[in-house]
Amino acid sequence: MAETESAEDQIHKLFQEKHKEYAAQDRTLDALAALAFVLKYVKEISEETVAYDFKPMVSLHGSDVDPYTPDGVIWQRPSFSFLLELKSSWNNADVDQITKYGKSEGCLLADHSVKKFERAHCVLLGYQNLPGEANLDKLFGEWEREKIPFPLVVFRYSLEVAPEGTRMFFTRVADDRNGRCPPSSFGRAMNSVRGYPVKADNFKFVRDRFHKANDQIVDSYAAVIWWTVYAKHYLSEDQRAEMAANGRVSSSLIIPAHGLDQVPALPDIEVPLTAKDVKRALEFLRQAGLVAFKKRAGNYEVKLKDDRYVRFPHGTALAGISGQQEIAAKIITRWATNKIKHPLPEGRKKKAPKIRAKRHRDKTTPYLPFPETVP
């Protein structure tokens, strides 16, 4: 009989899974920052770039109701366009999602009109971990069956450490069915199977502008970015002064659940957190023991303090991982520990109301021949 996993083993396993998910999100944002740097600051590419948007909405196809939200759309002169989607790894829903992107006619503008993609257009699909051959077969096979007139270009993106410094690499998948980008300078770079590097030293100043990708952010990353960047922007001037002087605020930060859509607008952010992201962040921080939810008042309460005051739980075996000063490791460790040892109570599920069967008069069976008089 197999031995039951100890609580510490469960915590360690849960931490590893969540931290891996966090790191994958971080890598995706590195890739977006690298692409933004290339489009804006690499001369031969920036000269051809008309516009780009890393939080676009594109037109619907078929019976879908909500606009599609890929990770980016790029327009280049004289007549090139690119739709960008980045993923950490394969998901079985990718085939349907990407073929819908391929059928989209263009970008939705603020006035609800559609700016159509150019004739020289392609869909760029990047993976941190490339799909296996069977999944690529599904992807390219469906693209061909749908007879989409634009090429699908699958590539890998990876952050690699080299003697000359850390670099983000974009490498086209060497597959005969893989498409080719339109022949702009950017397109030719993405077509290279040898890889197109962007130094981290170059894109690191752009990196802070990306708090998420255009798709839904993972809850662990939302929690860390909210705690480290957004939380202090909810404070009053007096509270900020107290935070600066003491490293913590004596009174709790109160955020009404009905006011989560009032997310502080931060300057020069390409893709900021949304109300849904903040909700996911606060729920993660609640399980980590850094946020409380007062059900009667309907408020989230945050005892805000500097990152250096956030401690690992006592006795955790993970206390040495990534160093005491890494706030992401601290928050995810606290979440994993509480998830195993002190899980939040799940909301009570409402019982389905009992449906009483209606009595129907039987109109088909004749009445029994009761006598008219009782003897």
| Mean pLDDT of the region 150-154 | 97
Note the pLDDT of residue 363: 47
Same domain, 111 and 170: yes
Q: Taking residues 251-255, report their average pLDDT.
A: 93
CA dist 222 → 27, 231, 293 (Å): 14, 12, 18
52 and 201 in a single domain? The answer is: yes
DSSP string for 54-83: SS--B---TT--SPB--SEEEEETTTEEEE
Is 195 found in the same domain as 228? Answer: no
Q: In 10 A of CB 298, how many CB atoms? A: 11
**What pLDDT score was predicted for residue 370?**
39
Confidence of residue 360 (pLDDT cuts 50, 70, 90): very low
* pLDDT given at position 313: 83
Question: Count H helices, E strands: the chain?
Answer: 10, 12
Pair (196, 224) in one structural domain: no
Residue finishing a domain among 176, 207, 238? 207
In-domain check, residue 360: no
H-state helical runs in the chain: 7-41, 43-46, 94-103, 133-145, 185-190, 200-207, 219-225, 237-246, 275-287, 327-341
What distance in Å separates the CA atoms of residue 127 and residue 28, rounded to the nearest whole number? Answer: 9
335 within domain boundaries:
yes
Please report which confidence band the pLDDT of residue 351 belongs to, taking 50, 70 and 90 as the band edges. Answer: low
In this prediction, residues 78-86 reach a mean pLDDT of: 97
- So what's the pLDDT on residue 326? 82
**Which residues are 170's β-sheet partners?**
157, 196
Regarding whether 273 and 162 lie in a shared domain, the answer is no
Q: Dihedral sign, CA of 231, 236, 241, 245?
A: negative
Per residue in 275-326, pLDDT (tens digit) is 999 999 999 999 999 999 999 899 999 999 998 888 888 766 555 555 444 8
Claim to verify: residue 101 and residue 165 sit in the same structural domain: yes
Of 136-140, 148-152, 252-256, 306-310, the one with minimum mean pLDDT is 306-310
Task: Say yes or no: 47 and 83 in one domain.
Answer: yes
**Domain range for residue 295?**
219-341
In a domain, 81, yes or no: yes
- Please indicate, yes or no, if residue 212 is contained in any of the structural domains: no
pLDDT value at residue 237: 92
The tokens of 37 are what?
């740097």
- At 373, is the pLDDT very low, low, confident or very high (cuts 50, 70, 90)? very low
Instruction: Say if residue 346's pLDDT is above 90.
Output: no
- Mark which of 175, 207, 239 sits at the end of a domain: 207
The number of CA neighbours under 13 Å toward the Cβ of 250 is 5
Structure confidence at residue 317 (pLDDT)? 56
Residues 185 and 298 in one domain: no
Residues 174, 93 within the same domain: yes
Does residue 375 fall inside a structural domain?
no
Whether residue 361 is predicted with pLDDT greater than 80 in this model: the reply is: no
Q: How many domains in the chain?
A: 2
User: Which of 36, 58, 54, 49 lies closest to 102 in space, CA to CA?
Assistant: 58
pLDDT tens column, 196-232: 999 999 999 999 999 999 988 999 999 999 999 999 9
pLDDT at site 157: 97
Domain-located, residue 251: yes
Do 154 and 301 sit in the same domain of this protein?
no
Say if 58 falls within a structural domain: yes
Confidence check: pLDDT of 72 > 50: yes
Q: What is the reported pLDDT for 65? A: 66
- The per-residue pLDDT for 164 is 82
pTM of the model: 0.86
Residues 156 and 127: their CA atoms lie apart, in Å, by 5
What pLDDT score does 374 carry?
43
The predicted structure's pLDDT at residue 1: 44
Residue 227 to residue 285: CA distance in whole angstroms: 8
pLDDT value for 245: 93
**Percent of the chain with pLDDT strictly greater than 90:** 75
Other CB atoms within 10 A of residue 97 CB: 16
User: Do 30 and 148 have their domain in common?
Assistant: yes
**Other C-beta atoms lying within 10 Å of the C-beta of residue 321:** 18
Residues 70 and 112 in one domain: yes
Q: Which residues contact 276 (CB under 8 A, 6 or more apart)?
A: 216
What is the pLDDT of the chain when averaged over all its residues? 88
What integer pLDDT is reported at residue 134 of this predicted model? 96
Choose the final residue of a domain: 207, 236, 251.
207
For residue 59, being part of any structural domain is answered with: yes
Average pLDDT over residues 173-201: 95
> Given a cut of 70, is residue 148 above it in pLDDT?
yes
